[in-house]
């Protein structure tokens, strides 16, 4: 078998100075389900209910540093379907990715962690939710696409407005 060498370092991806690549880069290292809970608390009775359930979908995005130039981005999605007779199902998913970033300005890194990485991860999390609901015995739940970039910009604007108005309430992550 031929010696392939270090494939990553053999690639010439950009200008180098002093033997180091100083160009900005960001990418997904791996994706994984960190936590998944599916509850079907009123089965088998819930399969007989005639009224359409009311859906509640909540999501949150978090990021934390796990090493030099490596962060974990987490999309937390909780879906609850309630009918007049009770709760049909609850699906709670924490879907994560390890993200590598180097030579990015802080504002670019923040935007990648809270807008771009969630945009990349969402279709995979959406499929897991749909499969979990289907496996619980219900029609698959296909979540609508989410404009993470738009939400990110909106949250930044709200935080800026709050700072300008002198608000002291803490602000969360995008």
pLDDT band at 173 (very low <50, low <70, confident <90, very high): low
Q: According to the model, what pLDDT value does residue 165 have? A: 83
Give the structural domain span for 39.
24-140
Q: The CATH number of the domain where 122 resides is what? A: 3.10.420.10
Per the rule left: phi > 0, alpha: psi between -120 and 50, beta: everything else, 19 is left
Q: Does 164 fall in a domain?
A: no
pLDDT of residue 121 exceeding 80, the answer is yes
Q: Does 146 fall in a domain?
A: no
Per the rule left: phi > 0, alpha: psi between -120 and 50, beta: everything else, 137 is left
Q: Does 8 fall in a domain?
A: no
Q: Does 3 fall in a domain?
A: no
Overall number of domains in the chain = 1
- Dump pLDDT digits (tens) for 41-70: 999 999 999 998 999 999 999 999 999 899
């Amino acid at each position: 078998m031929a010696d392939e060498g270090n494939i990553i370092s053999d690639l010439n991806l950009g200008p180098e100075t002093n033997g180091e690549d100083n160009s900005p880069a960001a990418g997904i290292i791996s994706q994984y389900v960190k936590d998944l809970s599916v509850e079907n608390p009123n089965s088998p009775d819930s399969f007989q209910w005639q009224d359409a359930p009311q859906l509640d979908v909540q999501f949150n995005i978090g990021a934390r540093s796990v090493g030099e130039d490596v962060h974990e981005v987490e999309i937390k999605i909780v879906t609850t379907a309630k009918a007049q007779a009770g709760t049909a199902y609850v699906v709670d998913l924490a879907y994560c990715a390890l993200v590598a970033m180097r030579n990015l300005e802080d504002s670019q890194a923040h935007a990648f962690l809270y807008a771009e990485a969630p945009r990349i991860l969402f279709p995979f999390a959406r499929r897991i939710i749909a499969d979990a609901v289907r496996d619980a015995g219900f029609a698959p739940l296909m979540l609508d696409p989410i404009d993470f970039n738009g939400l990110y910009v909106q949250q930044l604007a709200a935080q800026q407005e709050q700072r300008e108005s002198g608000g002291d309430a803490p602000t969360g992550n995008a």
